[in-house]
Structure 1
Amino acid sequence: MKALVYGGPESRSWRDVPDPAVKDPEDAIVRVDAVTICGTDLHILRGDVPEVEHGRVLGHEAVGTVLDVGSNVRTVEPGQRVLVSCISSCGRCAPCREGRQGQCLGGGGWVLGHLIDGTQAEMVRVPFADHSLHAVPENVSSEDAAMLADILPTAYEVGVLAGAVSPGDTVVIVGAGPIGLAAITTARLYSPSRIVVVDPAASRREQALAAGADRALSPEEDVPAAVEALTGGRGADVAIEAVGIPSTFELCTELVRPGGHVANVGVHGAPATLHLERLWIRDVTITTGLVDTRTTPLLMRLLSEGKISVEGLCTHRFGLHEMQDAYDAFSRPDESGSLKVVLFGDAT
């Protein structure tokens, strides 16, 4: 089969690799019908995730059709359309039983495209299939379902839930890429009084407003002053960092009110300064985390019932064999205007 293979920093190739096969009784083999590229894949290609070995097939989010299952798989079967979650879960260890599947100690967690071969391929082996695959309702398209493999649960769990967004809150989201837009969608479930988005790209600020933000600011503006004016001098109840660079994290700590929450969602490849000399007295809660995907079934149900929308998140579509072109578009959003890109296999 063909797959996108990591060759070291700034090196990727679309080439032939061996077909995956069931190795463990809990495995499933899934034909990839729709797959996306994540900002984390770009971090890998920049060398920010040294655990990824040369020769690894990248990718950790997809929708596909089950081709084969191991002898111990009980809840999925060949021919079924499924969402391949970015997190694999053994379902047995203490973290999994606590709902912290991202910290799985039984061989799961974020392994696809990281520690084992991933989804940017014609087929993928998914470990712990019973806990790591989700049935896709007939009325949900593969493109829309792919948004639930990573960005929707990540924004919801690591941003909205960890940030304790509540009715009436002022929520500031720094970054209007796919994660930031997904944070707008899922924050709106809790009826905040206003959502303010900060992003340097005019096109992304426009998309944020279309997604439900009340105000979109450029970082070239005096953002702290604008947030103070909107909140009567208090500051944001919740500041969600959705970029992954030091300046955006540090901005969030400036914008949050005393007693507020900073929820860091972005993947950081460089240190950020934590100004404890200013924060210690202000009762600020700072959270970080890897998504657990425990909310994926809920989000799938809300999507199927029309309670949430992922419209506008996918801006570019390619054939699976156009993987290199898709990476070029996704990695240059200022030129391409890309948010999420989705690639479709021949069967779709």
Structure 2
Amino acid sequence: MKALVYHGPKQKSWEEMPVPVIRQATDAVVRITKTTICGTDLHILKGDVPEVTDGRILGHEGVGVVVETGTAVSNFKKGDRVLISCITSCGKCSYCKKGMYSHCEDGGWVLGHLIDGTQAEYVRIPHADNSLYHIPDNSDEEALVMLSDILPTGFECGVLNGKVKPGATVVIVGAGPIGLASLLTAQFYTPSEIIMIDTDDNRLAVAATFGATHIINNVKENAVEKVKRIAARGADTVIEAVGIPATFELCELLVAPGGTIANIGVHGKKVDLHLENLWAHNITITTGLVDTVTTPMLLNIVHSKKLNAKQLITHRFALSDIIIAYNTFEQAAKEKALKVILNNT
């Protein structure tokens, strides 16, 4: 089969790899029909995730068709159409029993990280019964790819961890796909203001169409001053959706006393925590990987068309054109790219 293989920082290639096989009785092998590229993949290629080793197939999102199952798999069979979760869960360990699937003792974020991932024609899914979801009949597979990672991540790590409430003021720093996913799902809770901050005017314009009440280009404007004009005491929830020191430190300046900073971004460098300013402000800072506990709920919402996940998609490519797709995604501002869909037909 063909797959996108990582060969160290800034090195990747579309090459021939062995078709995955069942290794454990709880495994399934899935033929990928649609996948995508994540900002985390770009962090890997920058060298920000050193656990990813030379020869790893990247990718942790997608939908497909089951082609083989291990003897212990009971919820899925050959021919089933499935959504692949970015998080692998055994369902039995102490962390899984707490709903902390991201810390599963035999799983967590492993696809495209510690084991081969979904940017390939086939992928092996460990603990298939707990790591796959049946796709409802007549569902739009492109929209469902957004449920592998970005929608549950934006919702759980941003909105839920950020304690978004009705009438609250929310600031989201970063209008990329994850920030926009937070914007879409924050509206479940009817905050009074959702302020999007980014350096890309196109992404800010998209955010306005998705429901942002205010947009700020923090290259052209002083973001702190403008937010304070909207909400004098600062924001109740500030969501960091970029993953660089400057954006996290901006969040520290924007959070109101008693507020929450919810970090989503993947940080490859140290960030200064200004406790000399924040020690008495009663703030909460949350971090974490997505646990995907909300995926079944989001699946129902997207399937019922109460949430338009497909609007996050801007570009489509054949899976075999994945190098071109990466070039497009890496030049998001120039190409006006959000999420890309890779079709394996």
Shorter-chain TM-score above 0.5: yes
Unaligned runs of 5+ in 2: none
Amino acid at match of 2:145: A
**After superposition, what is the alpha-carbon deviation per residue over 1:16-38, rounded to whole angstroms, capped at 9, x for unaligned?**
00000111000000000000001
Amino acid at match of 2:138: N
TM-score by length of 2: 0.99
CA contact (8 A) 2:142 2:310 kept: no
Name the structure 1 match of 2:198: 199
Where 1:121 maps in the other structure, the secondary structure is: coil
Taking the aligned partners of 1:140 and 1:327, their CA distance within structure 2 comes to 27
Name the structure 1 match of 2:133: 134
Name the structure 2 match of 1:168: 167
Amino acid at match of 1:5: V
Taking the aligned partners of 1:188 and 1:161, their CA distance within structure 2 comes to 12
Where 2:309 maps in the other structure, the secondary structure is: coil
Alignment of 1:309-324 (within 5 A): 309-324=308-323
Amino acid at match of 1:61: E
Taking the aligned partners of 1:94 and 1:50, their CA distance within structure 2 comes to 27
Taking the aligned partners of 2:325 and 2:39, their CA distance within structure 1 comes to 13
Taking the aligned partners of 1:249 and 1:196, their CA distance within structure 2 comes to 16
Taking the aligned partners of 1:311 and 1:215, their CA distance within structure 2 comes to 23
Taking the aligned partners of 1:122 and 1:164, their CA distance within structure 2 comes to 39
Shift of 1:312: 2.2
Amino acid at match of 1:42: L
Shift of 1:140: 2.1
CA contact (8 A) 2:170 2:191 kept: yes
Alignment of 1:52-67 (within 5 A): 52-67=52-67
Shift of 1:197: 0.1
Shift of 1:222: 1.5
**1:19 aligns to 2:19 (yes or no):** yes
Amino acid at match of 1:178: P
Taking the aligned partners of 1:101 and 1:149, their CA distance within structure 2 comes to 14
Identity %: 53
Shift of 1:337: 1.0
**After superposition, what is the alpha-carbon deviation per residue over 1:226-275, rounded to whole angstroms, capped at 9, x for unaligned?**
111112x1110000000000010110110010000000000011111100
Name the structure 2 match of 1:329: 328
Taking the aligned partners of 2:242 and 2:216, their CA distance within structure 1 comes to 15
Name the structure 1 match of 2:116: 117
Taking the aligned partners of 1:252 and 1:44, their CA distance within structure 2 comes to 24
Shift of 1:138: 2.0
Name the structure 2 match of 1:34: 34
**After superposition, what is the alpha-carbon deviation per residue over 1:86-135, rounded to whole angstroms, capped at 9, x for unaligned?**
00000000111111000111x10000000000000000000000000011
Taking the aligned partners of 1:239 and 1:49, their CA distance within structure 2 comes to 25
Q: Which consecutive segments of 4 or more residues in structure 1 shift more than 2 A?
A: none
Taking the aligned partners of 1:213 and 1:95, their CA distance within structure 2 comes to 35
Amino acid at match of 1:229: R
Alignment of 1:1-348 (within 5 A): 1-105=1-105, 107-220=106-219, 221-231=221-231, 233-346=232-345
Taking the aligned partners of 2:249 and 2:260, their CA distance within structure 1 comes to 13
Shift of 1:311: 3.5
CA contact (8 A) 2:4 2:119 kept: yes
Amino acid at match of 2:82: V
Shift of 1:310: 1.4
Taking the aligned partners of 1:318 and 1:214, their CA distance within structure 2 comes to 33
Amino acid at match of 1:30: V
Taking the aligned partners of 2:274 and 2:256, their CA distance within structure 1 comes to 15
Taking the aligned partners of 1:142 and 1:308, their CA distance within structure 2 comes to 14
Taking the aligned partners of 1:37 and 1:222, their CA distance within structure 2 comes to 32
Amino acid at match of 1:104: C
